[in-house]
Structure 1
């Protein structure tokens, strides 16, 4: 599985946050524009700062870093909750080349990841990526292309013998074995209970109803796994 293909180049900017932070500092848009120009050499007009705060536009990556500096905050405080690899990088104020250097990856190879390319790194690079961006475990699994395999294993655990899936799931998800066992057993139990309840509803076979309920359960199994494992997805 790839990172989300064709991620938007638009900065996931929080206009309201920029305005609140500026007002808390007692600054005007003109003060912010001056700070951006003086410290970062970017010719940003006060009207541009005001338009960002009204949600009529968004700063570029360089402008976002400069705006955060002028407002004495981290870039992540000016962004929506990150849900793409690019958004996580922006939240940490890192340029693509700097992040690629940190994780020991070719810059072009890293930049392809942000536009839907396949992960081609190793475990060491994955660990470095997680550390550099402070990624939640679900995000790391998704960005390194292991969501599809994990979903297949979870489906197998729910529909067949969950015991045989503990070890392979543990190779993908480094969580305590006891926690994995409890989660997989719970998924298996609840899936089987769902199938049984719909199959015998009204004391008559309900194969079609059972099939729909089973598919719905399996369609959401990855999100349910993370929820039960106590791992935030963002």
Structure 2
């Protein structure tokens, strides 16, 4: 089971900033619908126990700080991005129109299987871009593998897999892969041109270096070609309770 990230040191610092005692924190959390005893708040601050998600959200409200401060980490996983927005699994599932069990499984496996509409709703709710979501789900290497094969071979056969990974329209993916295939072909033509012309090694090395740099930026360049569709959607507030 996924454990809620929590930093005892940050919790102590946050409480000190607002000038509350552990008893006052417990009282305020109880008033917010998350009843706890002062002893439990102290246990959190000393790291002997850790809050549940609802307790983390209530504690963040009481201490007037974002959940990420108390989490002590920059969100890396889908679950952490959700918690950073103070969204429960049930609330986020409702927002994106997905069964909570299916969404919970996606978090646990770090594998997103939502359709285009659900994906758009997810990135909107979490304040992500589609591009960032692919990285959060750990699929950049998979995407890069398809791009490397596509630019140096039959790019059309990779339109479907890339569209599946990114949930992008196949036409948009096709346009990007076609452009990248043509760009990469230019490197081969220039290289062979220098070879046939018997140019010096420095010219060949320059072309080879440019080719290597292009390959290193494949994923970034793909998103540059995709343009606005890969960027963050307009933000709107999602009710958290």
TM-score (ref. length: structure 1): 0.63
CA distance in 1, matches of 2:59, 2:220: 35
1:133 aligns with 2:99: no
Check whether the contact 2:75–2:81 (CA below 8 A) recurs between aligned residues. Answer: yes
- Residue 32 of structure 2 is matched in structure 1 by 39
Match of 1:72 among 34, 56, 64: 64
Structure with larger RCO (C-alpha < 8 A, sep 6+)? 1
Check whether the contact 1:77–1:91 (CA below 8 A) recurs between aligned residues. Answer: no
- Residue 91 of structure 1 is matched in structure 2 by 84
1:13 aligns with 2:18: no
CA distance in 2, matches of 1:185, 1:70: 55
Following superposition of structure 1 onto structure 2, how do residues 120-159 of structure 1 map, counting pairs within 5 Å?
A: 120-142=113-135, 147=140, 149-156=142-149
- Residue 111 of structure 1 is matched in structure 2 by 104
Check whether the contact 2:43–2:49 (CA below 8 A) recurs between aligned residues. Answer: yes
TM-superposition CA deviations, 1:73-119 (whole Å, max 9, x none): 23233221111111111111111111011001111111111221753
> How far off its partner does 1:46 sit?
1.9
TM-superposition CA deviations, 1:61-84 (whole Å, max 9, x none): 111011112112232332211111
- Residue 102 of structure 1 is matched in structure 2 by 95
TM-superposition CA deviations, 1:100-141 (whole Å, max 9, x none): 110011111111112217533211110110111112444411
Q: Which has the larger radius of gyration?
A: 2
> How far off its partner does 1:228 sit?
10
1:54 aligns with 2:46: yes
CA distance in 2, matches of 1:108, 1:50: 33
Aligned to 2:49, the other structure's residue is in SS state: coil
Aligned to 1:42, the other structure's residue is in SS state: coil
- Residue 63 of structure 1 is matched in structure 2 by 55
Check whether the contact 2:28–2:62 (CA below 8 A) recurs between aligned residues. Answer: yes
> How far off its partner does 1:157 sit?
5.8
Aligned to 1:10, the other structure's residue is in SS state: coil
**What root-mean-square deviation, in Å, do the aligned CA atoms of Structure 1 and Structure 2 show?**
4.1
Task: Give the total of aligned pairs.
Answer: 191
Of the structure 1 ranges 75-84 and 86-95, higher mean CA displacement relative to structure 2 is found in 75-84
Aligned to 1:94, the other structure's residue is in SS state: coil
Provide structure 1 residue ranges, at least 5 long, that are not aligned to the other structure.
Answer: 1-7, 194-213
Runs of 4+ displaced beyond 6 Å: 227-231
- Residue 211 of structure 1 is matched in structure 2 by none
